Amino acid sequence: MASKGRGSRGGAETLRRYWTSGPGAAKIRWGTPGDWGRCTKQLHKYMGARAKGYCQLLHRRATGVYTGSRANVGRRRR
């Protein structure tokens, strides 16, 4: 059986790029307060409860830190 190579996960990677650096990222505005909440709101309609975990991974990919990290510049001050 031949390997599909690079294109085998192309759909998933295309979606990740859309939400981290494409038009979806413009809706979310990564690195600003409330970015994770906007992400979960946008993706919940497609993924349900799984959107929370996926947005955590997208946040790490887009900003370099997880939402709970002290290094998260988009984190709101209390």
Q: What is this structure's pTM?
A: 0.78
**What are the pLDDT digits (tens) for 48-78?**
999 999 999 999 999 998 888 888 776 655 5
Average pLDDT over all residues of the chain? 85
Q: Where are the domains of the chain?
A: 29-66
Phi, psi of 2 (to 5 degrees): -80, 145
Q: What's the rounded Cα separation, in Å, for the pair 74 and 32?
A: 4
Confidence of residue 6 (pLDDT cuts 50, 70, 90): low
Q: What's the alpha-carbon Rg for the chain, to the nearest Å? A: 14
For 44-78, the DSSP string reads HHHHGGGHHHHHHHHHHHHHSS-TTSTT-TTPPP-
What is the band of 3 on the pLDDT scale with cuts at 50, 70, 90?
very low
